[in-house]
Amino acid sequence: MDVYIAAVTAYFVAFALFHGWLLVMAAVETRRHASRLQAANLQQTIRSPLTPPISVLVPAYNEELGITDSVRSLLALEYPRFEIVVVSDGSSDATIERLVDAFELERVRRPTPPFLEHEPIRAVYAPRGRLNLLVLEKDNGGKADALNAAINFARYPLICAIDADSVLEQDALVKAAMPFVDDPVRTVATGGLVKVANGCRVERGRVVETGLPRTALPMFQVVEYLRAFFGARTGWSAVNGLLLVSGAFGLFRKEAVIAAGGYSTKTVGEDMELVVRLHRSRRDQGRAGRVVYVPDPVCWTEAPESTRVLRRQRRRWQRGSAEVLIAHLRMLGNPRYGTVGMLAMPALLLFELLGPVVELSGYAVALLALLSGTIEAEVFLLFLAVSVLCGLTLSFGAIAIEDASFGRYPGWNQLGRIMLFAVLENAGYRQLGLLWRLEGFWQLVRRGEWGAMERTGLGGSEPEAILGDGVGLR
Amino acid sequence: MTAALVWVVAALAAVFLLLLVAIVARRWLADRRGAADGAVRPGVEATLVDYLATEEDRAPPPPRTVAERRVLREVSLATIGELRGRERERLVTLAERSGIIAEAEAELRSRRLLRRRAGAEALRQFHSEASAAALSAALADPDLETSLSCAVALAELDDSAPIAAVLERADEACEERPGAAAAILVALGRRHPEALGEALDSERSTGLRRLAAAIAGELRLAEHAEALRAALEDPDDELVARAARGLGMIGDAAALERLLELAAAEDRAWFVRLAATGALGEIGDERALAPLERELQEGAWPAQAKAARALRSLGGRGEAVLRQALGSPREAVREHARVALED
């Protein structure tokens, strides 16, 4: 038993060292990025004739309550040239009627471009005026299918996939597009910072007052998001090993997405699957490709407030990442795929997929060893201390990076609350999360649903997966 | 095992405490600085607004404290991107008189990388003629970011002396940092359009010529039409496609014959044919009718869409071709024609 405890401790240390290295990479990258983000730089990007126009794709399923505010807020984004393509994915409510009334849309005939397959289009609507808006009504096929339809109709070379219930800050598109302006040949995708909107005041599709959630569950998720975005994602981006651009807000080169075959409808982790496939297809074609995380453009999204929804979300994420790993197993440890094959995929397997198994079994074995007298209480407590300190170090590292570069949590009260919850999550929340992820993995194994498609429709207010975020040993 | 665990815990605890202290100390320092800046900010902003609003040549008194200078620099940098003409000139003059430009020039000589970058970035925003010498010297900075920022700043100046060195820098950077090289060429294209002709010269690297071709077109620099026409003869497909697009944007009728050939050239990449087809439509000569009709009938989806739009832009005879295409047995052809006619 003590051998197993020693092995799990070694795993904790390896985890902490690996993610500590990612944090260092993230710190360097964030500092570099923050130094470039001056207002005048953004203005130059906006005015440059080479700034590529963007098609913003909004898949929507039964979003009648918020869709018009979302579209209005998107139309007010600060960007030189863009269009909005809304796809109602077989909505059974009045999503289409609301849009038609609010934006004076009329039904038009448009040929369906043949680039990506999707469920049939029922109707296309365009405004009578000069608004850059196109609305598609199609049969239900899930979020990935709706996005594929939107890509087909998108006019511009960059596509921005967002959730209908996400709220973008006004300059989010400009900031997310900057890597495409900087390196238009190699950049294939960029992802932006997703923040928890719970506790913020949102009016007519805009965040008018920011704040922290008032309840514990979303507060824990604020800490997780910080760790995910300011720790792992920025670090992975610095070494071009980023495996996930959040489905809530991601910018892609349309031509690369079409060449890779679009979003997969056969996985619940379609956002991660697309990014991995982009890496794979670019490498297979012998072309360089960069997937960049930009730690500044903010997309606000609502985090689950109930354990039931959170549990479902975490199980789905775990299943999604397992499906992606299985679908692209060839890349694992394959030097042909560079950092992604040699580092990011093995880390996904070791720390994200096996993390819950190793950590939970470590706790169980240590407890059994303590009860059976195989180890002393001192060893047991030290083992727990290692586990807790690993998580705390990574959380506080991410908090330090965020505070030093952007400082979006003003006042000692907000900073103090975040630090407090970074400590408190170790007393149950973290372990619960591990259990849910283990359940997700088990669901996949038990049902034999490798690669099976789940048509859940869209809707809900769940943010997309935070994978590769070092959450395994939080 | 206990001893090993104690060591691991001690190491992790030390790192954790270090981070905690770093966060608290940084936040405390930032708060102090924020309070100092906050106290002087309204005064600095009001002074700046008054200065920019009046036509008087009298500049406000120079900043008295470090905080005032810092806030003035910050506010000026945040504002300058929005200003044009006389207001911009006045703000640059103020930055020169208040020592902000000199401070940024001094930063360019710093041994600290981030200071050099900050200095270069500030000078890039202000592009004060007074900083030409410091910027020219910093073109050789070993840090690419700093050096490229200086190159953009120099490209924005009226002084044409450093243009050759700036172009050289852009040429060196266009493989590793194409976006930055493009920013240099855009600045040159707006301030010194003749320099783009040098960038299009066949002696330059293909990467730089590609960027220059795209920018000459985007900025509609008709004086470079001849250089773009020469680029149509280049073996590099990407360069040819960009030159074709550029000639279309400029509306250069002299390129028509060659564009017609390229639109029909089966041995060239599809995107060359597509770019030539689009350019033919933009130039609007009726000789483009036949190749455009062929693309509409036989091309792939994007080429069909582009050809249909181009035909529409040709007016009466193009529209006649589109109306004829409404009777095509191929659904895609009919649809493209219909959409083009309806738009």
Higher pLDDT, B285 or A175: A175
| Pairwise CB contact (< 8 Å): B183 & A184 | no
Which positions 325-354 of A are in contact with B (Cβ < 8 Å)? none
Residues of B in contact with A410 (CB under 8 A): none
pLDDT of residue A450 exceeding 50: no
Among A1, A19, A21, A35, which would you mutate to test the B interface (most chain B Cβ atoms within 10 Å of its Cβ)? A35
Which candidate from B23, B331, B338 shows the least CB-CB separation from A403? B23
Higher pLDDT, A443 or A86: A86
B319-337 pLDDT per residue, tens: 999 999 998 888 889 988 9
ipTM over 0.95: no
Choice among A182-186, A389-393, B32-36 with the minimum mean pLDDT: A182-186
Q: Would you state the pLDDT for residue A40?
A: 56
How close does chain A come to B337, measured CA to CA in Å?
10
Which positions 372-411 of A are in contact with B (Cβ < 8 Å)? 376, 378-379, 382-383, 385-386, 389-390, 392-393, 396-397, 399-400, 403-404, 407
For residue A385, give the chain B residue with the closest CA.
B9
Confidence of residue A39 (pLDDT cuts 50, 70, 90): low
> Among A76, A444, A188, A110, which Cα is nearest to B308's?
A110
Single-letter amino acid code for the residue at B170:
A
Asked if A272 contacts A324 with a C-beta cutoff of 8 angstroms, the reply is: yes
State percent of chain A over pLDDT 90: 60
Residues of A in contact with B20 (CB under 8 A): 396, 419
Task: State the CB neighbour count (10 A cutoff) for residue A369.
Answer: 19
Residue A251 makes CB contacts below 8 A (sequence gap 6+) with A54, A158, A159, A160, A173, A176, A177, A180, A189, A190, A191, A192, A245
| Pairwise CB contact (< 8 Å): B12 & A393 | yes
| Pairwise CB contact (< 8 Å): A44 & B183 | yes
Residue B46 makes CB contacts below 8 A (sequence gap 6+) with none
pLDDT of residue A18 exceeding 70: yes
For residue A14, give the chain B residue with the closest CA.
B8
For residue A380, give the chain B residue with the closest CA.
B2
End-to-end alpha carbon distance in chain B:
77
Residues of B in contact with A397 (CB under 8 A): 19
Q: Would you state the pLDDT for residue A449?
A: 47
Residues of B in contact with A184 (CB under 8 A): 178-179, 182
Angstrom distance (rounded) from CA B110 to CA B134: 12
B193-207 pLDDT per residue, tens: 998 889 998 889 999
Sign of the CA dihedral with B322 first, then B324, B327, and B330 last: negative
A206 in contact with B at a CB cutoff of 8 Å? no
For residue B29, give the chain A residue with the closest CA.
A404
Q: What is the CA radius of gyration of chain B?
A: 28
Asked if B124 contacts B150 with a C-beta cutoff of 8 angstroms, the reply is: yes
What average pLDDT does range A300-308 have in this prediction?
90
For residue A423, give the chain B residue with the closest CA.
B16
For residue A383, give the chain B residue with the closest CA.
B5
Among A5, A115, A396, which would you mutate to test the B interface (most chain B Cβ atoms within 10 Å of its Cβ)? A396
Kindly state the tokens that stand for A32.
Answer: 């570099």
Which candidate from A6, A40, A389 shows the least CB-CB separation from B125? A40
Confidence of residue A38 (pLDDT cuts 50, 70, 90): low
| Pairwise CB contact (< 8 Å): B23 & A49 | no
Burial of A277 by CB count in 10 Å (0-12 exposed, 13-18 middle, 19+ buried)?
buried
Which candidate from B1, B335, B338 shows the least CB-CB separation from A2? B1
Pairing of strands A54-60, A158-162: parallel
Burial of B245 by CB count in 10 Å (0-12 exposed, 13-18 middle, 19+ buried)?
buried
> Among A156, A111, A150, A117, which Cα is nearest to A134's?
A150
Q: Would you state the pLDDT for residue A156?
A: 93
| Pairwise CB contact (< 8 Å): B214 & A50 | yes
Residue B196 makes CB contacts below 8 A (sequence gap 6+) with B185, B188, B189, B212, B215, B216, B221, B224
B125-181 pLDDT per residue, tens: 888 888 999 999 999 999 888 999 999 999 989 888 889 999 999 999 888 888 888
A181 in contact with B at a CB cutoff of 8 Å? yes
Q: Would you state the pLDDT for residue A461?
A: 34
> Among A402, A233, A386, which Cα is nearest to B19's?
A402
| Range A172-202 burial, b when 16+ CB lie within 10 A, else e | bbbbbbbbbbbbbbbbbbbbbbbbbbbbbeb
Give me the helix-helix angle, B237-250 and B206-218, nearest 10°: 20
Q: Would you state the pLDDT for residue A446?
A: 77
Map residue B251 onto helix, strand or coil.
coil
| Pairwise CB contact (< 8 Å): A412 & B9 | no
| Pairwise CB contact (< 8 Å): B27 & A6 | no
| Pairwise CB contact (< 8 Å): B27 & A415 | yes
| Pairwise CB contact (< 8 Å): B332 & A111 | yes
pLDDT of residue A79 exceeding 80: yes
For residue B187, give the chain A residue with the closest CA.
A48
Angstrom distance (rounded) from CA A91 to CA A138: 9
CA A86 → CA A76, A116, A302, distances in Å? 15, 17, 20
Kindly state the tokens that stand for A80.
Answer: 């030189």
pLDDT of residue A457 exceeding 60: no
Pairing of strands A290-301, A187-196: parallel
Confidence of residue A447 (pLDDT cuts 50, 70, 90): low
> DSSP per residue over B266-299, as a string?
TTS-HHHHHHHHHHHHHHT-GGGHHHHHHHHHHS
Residue A115 makes CB contacts below 8 A (sequence gap 6+) with A151, A152, A258, A262, B301
Angstrom distance (rounded) from CA A435 to CA A472: 11
How close does chain B come to A301, measured CA to CA in Å?
26
How close does chain A come to B17, measured CA to CA in Å?
9
Asked if A159 contacts A27 with a C-beta cutoff of 8 angstroms, the reply is: no
Confidence of residue B2 (pLDDT cuts 50, 70, 90): confident
For residue B26, give the chain A residue with the closest CA.
A404
pLDDT of residue A474 exceeding 60: no
Q: What is the 3-state secondary structure (H, E, C) of chain A?
A: CHHHHHHHHHHHHHHHHHHHHHHHHHHHHHHHHHHHCCHHHHHHHHHCCCCCCEEEEEEECCCCCCHHHHHHHHHCCCCCCEEEEEEEECCCCCHHHHHHHHHCEEEECCCCCCCCCCCCEEEEEEECCCCCEEEEEECCCCHHHHHHHHHHHCCCCEEEEECCCCEECCCHHHHHHHHHHHCCCCEEEEEEEEEECCCCEEECCEEEECCCCCCHHHHHHHHHHHHHHHHHHHHHHHCCCCCCCCCCEEEEEHHHHHHHCCCCCCCCCHHHHHHHHHHHHHHHCCCCCEEEEEEEEEEEECCCCCHHHHHHHHHHHHHHHHHHHHHCHHHCCCHHHHHHHHHHHHHHHHHHHCHHHHHHHHHHHHHHHHHCCCCCHHHHHHHHHHHHHHHHHHHHHHHHHHHHHCCCCCHHHHHHHHHHHHHHCCCCHHHHHHHHHHHHHHHHHHHCCCCCCCCCCCCCCCCCCCCCCCCCCC
For residue A179, give the chain B residue with the closest CA.
B179
Residues of A in contact with B6 (CB under 8 A): 382
Which candidate from A184, A396, A412 shows the least CB-CB separation from B179? A184
A408-423 pLDDT per residue, tens: 888 899 999 999 999 9
Kindly state the tokens that stand for B167.
Answer: 């172009």
| Pairwise CB contact (< 8 Å): B22 & A400 | yes
| Pairwise CB contact (< 8 Å): A378 & B2 | yes
What are the phi and psi torsion angles at B315 (to 5°)?
85, -150
How close does chain A come to B30, measured CA to CA in Å?
9
Residues of A in contact with B339 (CB under 8 A): 109-111
Give me the helix-helix angle, A377-405 and B2-53, nearest 10°: 10
Q: Would you state the pLDDT for residue A448?
A: 54
For residue B10, give the chain A residue with the closest CA.
A386
A53 in contact with B at a CB cutoff of 8 Å? no
| Pairwise CB contact (< 8 Å): B1 & A379 | yes
| Pairwise CB contact (< 8 Å): A44 & B27 | no
